Amino acid sequence: MLKKIHICLCFFFVSGILYEISLLSGCFFSCMPMPKHFLTPEQVLNLGKSIIFLETTERLEPPPLVSCSVESAARIYQDRPVILFMKGLTNDTVLDSNSSYAAFSLLSSMKNVFLFPLQMETIFQETPLLQWYNEVDPEEEKNWVHVSSDASRLALIWKYGGIYMDTDVISIRPIPEGSFLAAQKSRFSSNGIFGFPARHKFIWDCMENFVLKYNGNIWGNQGPFLMTRMLKTICNLTDFEGIEDHSCQNISFLNPQRFYPIPYPAWGRYYDVWDKNPDFNHSYALHLWNFMNRNRKAVVAGSNSLAEKLYKTYCPTTYEDLIKNAELRDLPSYEDSV
């Protein structure tokens, strides 16, 4: 009996050493000595280089655009954990690569993708947002899905560092910056994608201002308008003249071409067929403006739209499984038609 206990303790000791070696050597995903579903959010986030996505609705089946966003990030950042936090998940939810949810199964099978429950009270601990969260009534908030997402992304990036991305952002090449905000246009910052190291003062100041200037009735007040007003307190913002980036206080303010080469008034162009497709040579990722897509335009197999070509190139598994094969499954069978 004692021998068995000794062997077990040795196994866990060796596993722990291998785990630490894998972190230090940068081979976390190829050298991982244990299945990834045994890892906690804290363990993964403590790697400090996570790509973070949020789903603040209750849905458990990520739509194709969400799947594409996560898959494209996982392919571009293969040495970094890519995490999708989902409010609809709980610690008791049993969903894995064999799930009946197609997108969930697809994403779970990717070695560097992690899907975790979004537990806001835990995330807001030791931040200025906790008191606000305890006092606010989500039932009275008309923009709660967006406001809670705005708060959660700030807390996660402040605590652990990394890059936050909206779930309608398709990654096309690595972002070389450590501390950055994304300009939606001259003198105006998005909060749909940003990156900072852990415990950065700018993010802490944003959380304090979030609470101080809170108004959940104004869409964007806790999001892009927050980032913009906080950036203006430390930087003299000027117009972009070309494709250059701006920098202030060691924060890069990235040109709109990096993420918004197609501005929001023209968002529908992503679903058009182009005579000549843009090369996006100056972009790191593409924001598809899903908030504007109230008519629910979708990627259709064989449409030759710009969005279809982006799916084929940057999230091919999502395209095959959730677009192409889904349409084939929806076709009536011969038996159904006779």
Query: Which residues on neighbouring strands pair with residue 116, listed in sequence order?
Result: 85
> Residues 306, 274: contact at Cβ < 8 Å?
yes
Q: What is the pLDDT of residue 336?
A: 47
- Alpha carbon separation from 207 to 34, 198, 222 (Å, rounded): 36, 14, 9
Question: pLDDT band at 91, cuts 50/70/90?
Answer: confident
pTM (2 d.p.): 0.88
d(CA 186, CA 236): 12
* DSSP helix/strand/coil, 279: coil
What are the helix (H) ranges across the chain?
2-25, 28-31, 41-45, 64-76, 102-108, 120-123, 129-135, 144-160, 201-212, 224-234, 306-314, 316-318, 325-330, 334-337
Question: Percent of the chain beyond pLDDT 90?
Answer: 77
Rounded average pLDDT over 213-230? 96
Q: What is the pLDDT of residue 37?
A: 72
Q: Is 78 exposed, middle or buried (0-12, 13-18, 19+ CB in 10 A)?
A: middle
Q: Is the pLDDT of residue 335 over 60?
A: no
Q: Is the pLDDT of residue 154 over 80?
A: yes
CATH class of this structure's domain 37-269+280-298: alpha beta
> Residues 160, 44: contact at Cβ < 8 Å?
no
Sequence-ordered list of residues with C-beta below 8 angstroms from that of 153, at least 6 positions apart, any chain: 52, 54, 164, 191
